[in-house]
């Protein structure tokens, strides 16, 4: 089948497999293993940190006992390296018997009993990215049924060891197979990340019909350079990416790495602020058992979370890119409110940035403005009034505001 014929085929197919099942009307929140724990399968010498049922039970306990769940962090997501090297006698995926002796269904019950949801990982190629058995086209239906039978609530479907034609067939086919199970399962597609993330290779209209969220770009690493590179790519391509997002369909710039080793406090605030502005999934990848207080405070910031979870579901945009290496981002929110982020790419010293709401395209009026990270409030700020924000190197100032009256 020629590529053009495949495109026509999938255009028709997408109408019957749309994942409009009411899930993820706001970006998902939770915890995922990959960035922090990678493919550590050495449970002999590293039993606390290896990819095993114990690790995921630990993280579920922390989400419940340390206040994460009540803020919306509800998914516990297994990434690569959970699966046995061999399928079972019925051709089904099975977990590594040493590291997951109770099986995935039992782990799902543990997580569900705590009011949380379980996510799992598979790959549509011959193998996963780390070389474990994949979900090839002929295995999609049985794997979807297996995940549903275990009580899985979320699937991350990767694309290593697959080609563009297989991806064009496989990602919609998995969407259809998940729907056919009758179990509501959130569906995260890595498809666009394997095609460069942009049209014409990526059809975001189709993605919005078959997936709840999708990885667009490179994997995040534990460094400010990585975070900054992701922010810049999303901002530079916002005219394509921003219209694709909305309730039930989200761009995914990858995991929150706050609380690991690569970000300062300022940089951690910057990641949290930009992920909130971008309406990105708030999926942490860190060690919740050993998190510094400052990292917890950033990740549990109720104002930042509320901005991220705003039900209007409109992704924010970069309004200004200054020669002084200051960027200004804006996101419209429900009830005529909005959020602003002033991001410094500088590395020298705090920078005093002068502007007004009018210069940022706000309508005339008086505004109440709340600083997300200092909790300070300014009442009756006129749109025409100049103000100054001091932005620390690689840091942000993030504000929430709404009009309070006529000028």
Q: Looking at the annotation, which residues are catalytic? A: 158, 219
Q: How far apart are CA 99 and CA 52, in angstroms?
A: 5
Measured between its terminal Cα atoms, the distance across the chain in Å is 63
Q: How far apart are CA 363 and CA 207, in angstroms?
A: 35
Q: How far apart are CA 119 and CA 99, in angstroms?
A: 17
| CB 226 within 8 Å of CB 267 | no
- How buried is residue 60: exposed, middle or buried, by Cβ count under 10 Å (0-12/13-18/19+)? buried
Tokens representing 345 are: 């790419």
Element (H, E) at 276: helix 265-277
Q: How far apart are CA 337 and CA 12, in angstroms?
A: 39
Handedness of CA 202, 205, 206, 210 (dihedral sign): positive
Helix (H, G, I), strand (E, B) or coil at 353: strand
Tokens representing 234 are: 């999303």
Q: How far apart are CA 83 and CA 134, in angstroms?
A: 9
How distant, in Å, are the alpha carbons of 291, 338, 369, 382 from that of 402? 34, 6, 7, 11
- How buried is residue 379: exposed, middle or buried, by Cβ count under 10 Å (0-12/13-18/19+)? exposed
Per DSSP (E only), the strands in 51-116 are: 75-77
On the question of a cis peptide bond just before residue 112, with omega within 30 degrees of 0, the verdict is no
How distant, in Å, are the alpha carbons of 6, 79, 224, 336 from that of 70? 45, 24, 29, 26
Q: Please name the residues in contact with 322: beta carbons below 8 A apart, sequence gap of 6 or more.
A: 328, 353
DSSP code string of 117-150: EEEEEEESSSB-TTSSB---GGGHHHHHHHHHHH
Q: How far apart are CA 206 and CA 25, in angstroms?
A: 18
């Amino acid at each position: 089948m020629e590529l053009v014929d495949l495109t026509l085929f999938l255009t028709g197919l997408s109408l019957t497999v749309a994942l409009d099942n009411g899930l993820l009307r706001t970006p998902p929140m939770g915890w995922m293993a990959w960035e922090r724990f990678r493919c550590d399968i050495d449970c002999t010498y590293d039993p606390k940190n290896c990819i095993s049922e114990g690790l995921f039970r630990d993280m579920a306990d922390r989400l419940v006992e340390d206040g994460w769940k009540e803020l919306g962090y509800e998914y516990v997501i297994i990434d690569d390296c959970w699966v046995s090297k061999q399928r079972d006698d019925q051709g089904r995926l099975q977990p590594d018997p040493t590291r997951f002796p109770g099986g995935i269904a039992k782990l799902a019950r543990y997580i569900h009993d705590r009011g949380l949801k379980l996510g799992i990982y598979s790959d549509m190629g011959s193998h996963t990215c780390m070389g474990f058995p994949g979900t090839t086209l002929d295995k999609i239906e049985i794997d979807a049924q297996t995940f549903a039978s275990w009580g899985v609530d979320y699937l991350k479907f990767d694309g290593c060891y697959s080609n563009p034609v297989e991806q064009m067939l496989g990602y919609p086919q998995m969407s259809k197979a998940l729907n056919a199970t009758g179990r509501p399962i959130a569906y995260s597609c890595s498809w666009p990340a394997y095609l460069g993330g942009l049209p014409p290779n990526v059809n975001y209209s189709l993605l919005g019909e078959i997936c709840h969220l999708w990885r667009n770009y490179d994997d995040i690493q534990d460094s400010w350079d990585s975070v900054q590179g992701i922010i810049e790519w999303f901002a530079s391509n916002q005219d394509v990416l921003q219209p694709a997002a909305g309730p039930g369909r989200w761009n995914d710039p990858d995991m929150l790495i706050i609380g690991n080793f690569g970000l300062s406090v300022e940089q951690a605030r910057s990641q949290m602020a930009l992920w909130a502005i971008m309406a990105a999934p708030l999926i942490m990848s860190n060690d919740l058992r050993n998190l510094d207080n400052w990292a917890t405070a950033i990740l549990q910031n109720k104002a930042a979370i509320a901005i991220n979870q705003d039900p209007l579901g409109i992704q924010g945009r970069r309004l200004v890119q200054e020669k002084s290496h200051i960027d200004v981002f804006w996101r419209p929110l429900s009830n005529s409110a909005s959020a602003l982020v002033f991001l410094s790419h500088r590395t020298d010293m705090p920078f005093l940035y002068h502007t007004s709401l009018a210069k940022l395209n706000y309508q005339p009026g008086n505004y109440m403005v709340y600083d997300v990270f200092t909790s300070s409030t300014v009442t009756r700020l006129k749109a025409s009034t100049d103000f100054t924000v001091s932005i620390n190197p690689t840091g942000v100032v993030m504000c929430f505001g709404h009009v309070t009256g006529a000028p």
